[in-house]
Amino acid sequence: MIKININLPLKKRLHIHVANRRKDPTVKPLFPKMEEIRRVKKGSHVSRYFRHIFEHNKIKRLFGTNIAFAIIATTLLPNQSGAINVQANEIVTAESPIVLPTQSGAQYPLSNIKINQGYKFYHPAIDLDGETGDPIKPILSGVVEAVGWSKLGYGNAIYINHGSGISSLYAHLSKILVKEGQEVTQSTIIGFVGSTGRSTGDHLHLEIRRNEVPINPLIILPH
């Protein structure tokens, strides 16, 4: 606290006390503590940390929501990449029509459908709830292009090429049942749900890509 005394005419004196303003306990800091991030169960630690920054009022007021996403993600977030060095150079959110290979429509990879986390700018995939050991099937028939452990947080992952520029990636598996070069159908069990890699619990991380660019899986999957 700073005290200032000023002598005024007519034998008057002005007393000024300057003190730091108390912090509002309801205002969240721009950069959260890791303890707070760990208490949130949905998504990886990285996505949760930057989601807090994206949604902070200071960032929204300064840049606007959409610009804040673009600036922070471009400067701070690493490029999203798939298992076994499968990379995406940009994220596309436009839901333009997609021509699927000539066969029956796409299917969800799990029999029980519950989406824990949807497709977002900072999460170009959907997370499907499941338990370790739940069987996983491909969304479409195709050829397995890559399998194995990813050092990028996906854990055990499978990458399948379905033709016509469409591919899919399945991550955090507890076990992989297919190998590179293997042809699979929609009835093939390719692996089991797990929580390997950078994961906070049992679930399936599903990415769908068109010409190696992530798109919203719900464009293709049945409604």
Domain boundaries, the chain: 1-77, 83-219
pLDDT band for 35, please (50, 70, 90 cuts): low
Strand 191-192, strand 183-184: pairing: unpaired
Residue 154 has pLDDT above 90, yes or no: yes
- Token readout for 65 is 């929501």
Type of residue at 161:
N
Rounded to an integer, what distance in angstroms lies between the CA atom of residue 79 and that of residue 69? Answer: 14
Q: Could you give the CA distance from residue 167 to residue 105 in angstroms, rounded to a whole number?
A: 14
* CA distance linking residue 153 with residue 181, whole number of Å: 24
pLDDT of residue 1: 64
Cα distance from N-terminal residue to C-terminal residue, the chain:
62
Cβ atoms 144, 137 nearer than 8 A: no
Rounded CA-CA distance 106/220 in Å is 6
Q: CA 68, CA 93: separation in Å to the nearest integer?
A: 17
83-219 CATH: 2.70.70.10
Q: Rank 12-16, 96-100, 116-120 by mean pLDDT and report only the highest.
A: 116-120
Give the pTM.
Answer: 0.59
pLDDT for 172: 97
- Which of 83, 173, 183 shows the shortest CA–CA distance to 140? 183
Neighbours of 193 (CB within 10 A): 23
CA dihedral 171→174→175→179, nearest 10 degrees, is 10
Q: Please tell me which residue, 64 or 15, carries the higher pLDDT value.
A: 15
Per-residue pLDDT tens for 17-27? 677 666 656 55
pLDDT, residue 89, reads 37
Q: Is the pLDDT of residue 145 over 50?
A: yes
Nearest of 193, 50, 194, 66 to residue 122 by alpha carbon: 50
Q: Which residues are catalytic?
A: 203
